[in-house]
Structure 1
Amino acid sequence: MSDQINFLEAFPTNRETAIIKKLLIVEIPVTNMQRAIEFYAGQLGFYINLSKNPPSIWEDSREVFMYPTEGIKIMLWQTEGNERLGFTRDGKPHHFLILEIGEPAEVVRNKLIASGVKVGEILGEIADLGGCGKAFDVWDPDGNILRLCYRPS
């Protein structure tokens, strides 16, 4: 145990000594910007702040900022390659981003299924993750995996 404590002494262990103060943006690679905007804004409900994005975002933008009601914004980046965010855990693809939703998981999941969004597979239906609430996974049109969680107040 003392080796572990000595190891940790070399790193910041409180807010005052941390160099990084805030996570500002998560950048997401996409291959088709219009399709990505339709998914993130139309299906998931992120909003587009037109003062931060040019009004011509439907034409030729290679980057678009998307905002949740609160928290960290995302930036969609149009790429030429097939890069995706995610990793493998226990032999399965794993989500890279966890989003809190404002409606019960069952309601949101049913809406997404009805609109053709790929859901499930990793967690199965809807899983109760304790403090994280009820959750399920979705795939964006490019194959990036997101976990949606509902925590009732």
Structure 2
Amino acid sequence: MSDDPADSFTRARAAAGVLFFNDRDQVLLVDPSYKSYRDIPGGYIEHGETPRQAAGREVTEELAINPPVGRLLVADWAPNDTEGDKVLFIFDGGTLADDQLAAIKLDPNELTGYGFHNVDQAHELTISRLARRIVHGHAAKQDGTTRYLEHGEWSC
């Protein structure tokens, strides 16, 4: 057993994503080629990046668009039995304009499709923990707050 107290500290991985909406207040979900469920645009944060920078980079890589990444909507402490501890950040991407939608080109190595969906269908469209983040992110966007979650659950 180590005498270094830092050995007991978590080494959480961090990821960042973006919630984009259309003019009907539907959320953009992507179809990753390497997952069995829909997701939001985003991915893991690389060394030297901030969460917002990572979110922007991932959107550009996955969708080939570069809209501004807005304010933080959700921070979620999300340990996973198979993947370890994670901290997940979700930012507001706002409403995509018609020209931005027309410019989307999916990275064929990562995505097979995308679509806009009603937020209240999130639990039918993706895994539970992500659906909870989407619902809380949408609510935070509407009420001007940032939500701190644990395991996708609002703890306030």
Q: Which category describes the TM-score, using the shorter chain as reference length?
A: under 0.3
Q: Relative CO higher for 1 or 2, CA cutoff 8 Å, sep ≥ 6? A: 2
Q: Compare CA radii of gyration and give the structure with the larger one.
A: 1
When normalised by structure 2's length, the TM-score is 0.25
Which TM-score applies when normalising by structure 1?
0.25
